[in-house]
Amino acid sequence: MPTPTIITCALTGSADTAGKNPAVPVTPEEIATSGIEAARAGAAIIHIHVRDPETRLGSMNVGCYREVVERVRDSGIDVVLNLTTGPGARFVPGDPDPKTAGPGSTITTPERRVEHILALRPEICSLDMGSMNFGPHVFANIPAHLSKMAAHIREAGVKPELEVFEAGHIQLAAKMVADGAFDAPQLFQIVLGVPWGAPSTPEAMVFMRNLLPPGANWAGFGIGRAEFPFVALAAMLGGHCRVGLEDNLYLEKGVLAPSNAALVEKAVRVLEVTGATVATSAQAREILGLRGRP
């Protein structure tokens, strides 16, 4: 029997999108409720950022993460929690001194970026496997910082989801795998369409999949209008998939998504059309080798 396909729902992200679609959850209560609804719709994993309720922008507040996690856990819904460690890597060169971080920079220490992981111990957390131009700023994830973050993540008993935005990120991840930084089976997330990473094309997904270390589990997605075509493509190529308001604000052309659950429901329909079976959270834990709920 084919391996069931895991749907991850990325609930909110940290970009300035809350004003573009009122369904984007902002407060911890809204994010938790949206995650519970997405799980009921068929998501086995929910990927969680938090936002400052006042500014509505991305935040690293551990208290906000704690409230989201506790609300989801207390709801009784069985879903795998995946907390981001992406925030804290943005660098904007200062003017006139480019060596100094300018307005908009969030660059911080590896320890600060995983503080909520050590405190809350989700089953999964993301780990961005390299640096790149990310829209107008630099997304800085140097090998030394990644090694420190990986060690802390392992200490917490959490599986890292290795997010790769271009081929060089996979090469670095493979080196760290060879050095023993990540336990088998590794979990990769192929991210396509982010300026200026790998494009949302079938060729890019196939190429990056073929670079992954043997035996690794993987998922992949395209942002924006590529979201649903890449649900089907990832499943057909033997991977898992991701949808959610972090990556795409529309249910279809010109129609704003009314919720994360609606995006998950559409992903379920897409997978069923391809003949794939949607994984439960219990099946996702078995497939990915997770330690189980705390």
- Pair of tokens at residue 104: 């908009």
Average pLDDT of the residues in 196-211: 97
DSSP assignment letter at 244: S
Which residues does 95 contact at the CB level (< 8 Å), separation at least 6?
102
| pLDDT attached to residue 293 | 64
Residue 1 scores a pLDDT above 80: no
Residue 294 scores a pLDDT above 70: no
- Pair of tokens at residue 33: 């409720």
| pLDDT attached to residue 256 | 98
Residue 145 scores a pLDDT above 80: yes
What is the percent of the chain with per-residue pLDDT over 90, rounded to a whole number?
97
Average pLDDT over the chain reads 96
| pLDDT attached to residue 49 | 98
Average pLDDT of the residues in 57-86: 97
Cβ atoms 39, 80 nearer than 8 A = no
Residues 174, 184: Cα–Cα separation, whole Å: 12
Nearest to 130, CA basis, from 149, 115, 117:
149
Dihedral, CA of residue 195, residue 117, residue 58 and residue 285, to nearest 10: 60
SS (H, E, C) 11-32: CCCCCCCCCCCCCCCCCHHHHH
Residues 239, 71: Cα–Cα separation, whole Å: 30
SS (H, E, C) 164-203: ECCHHHHHHHHHHHHCCCCCCCCEEEEEECCCCCCCCCHH
| pLDDT attached to residue 191 | 98
SS (H, E, C) 104-133: CCCCCCHHHHCHHHHHHCCCEEEEECCCEE
Residue 140 scores a pLDDT above 90: yes
What is the percent of the chain with per-residue pLDDT over 70, rounded to a whole number?
99
Q: How far is CA 214 from CA 41, 185, 187, in A?
A: 32, 9, 11
Cβ atoms 32, 264 nearer than 8 A = no
Pick the CATH number of 7-288 from 1.10.540.10, 3.40.220.10, 3.20.20.100, 3.20.20.70: 3.20.20.70
The label of the residue with tokens 């391996």 reads 3
| pLDDT attached to residue 291 | 78
Residue 75 scores a pLDDT above 90: yes
Average pLDDT of the residues in 9-35: 97
Burial of residue 1 (number of CB atoms within 10 Å: 0-12, 13-18, 19+): exposed
Residue 173 scores a pLDDT above 80: yes
Residue 135 scores a pLDDT above 90: no
What pTM did the predictor assign?
Answer: 0.96
Delimit the domains of the chain by residue range.
7-288
For the stretch 218-258, pLDDT in tens is: 999 999 999 999 999 999 999 999 999 999 999 999 999 99
| pLDDT attached to residue 186 | 97
| Residue 248 CB neighbours (<10 A) | 23
3-state class (DSSP) for residue 277? coil
Q: List beta partners, residue 82.
A: 47, 124
| pLDDT attached to residue 4 | 97
The band of 2, judged by pLDDT with boundaries at 50, 70 and 90, is confident
Residues 181, 146: Cα–Cα separation, whole Å: 10
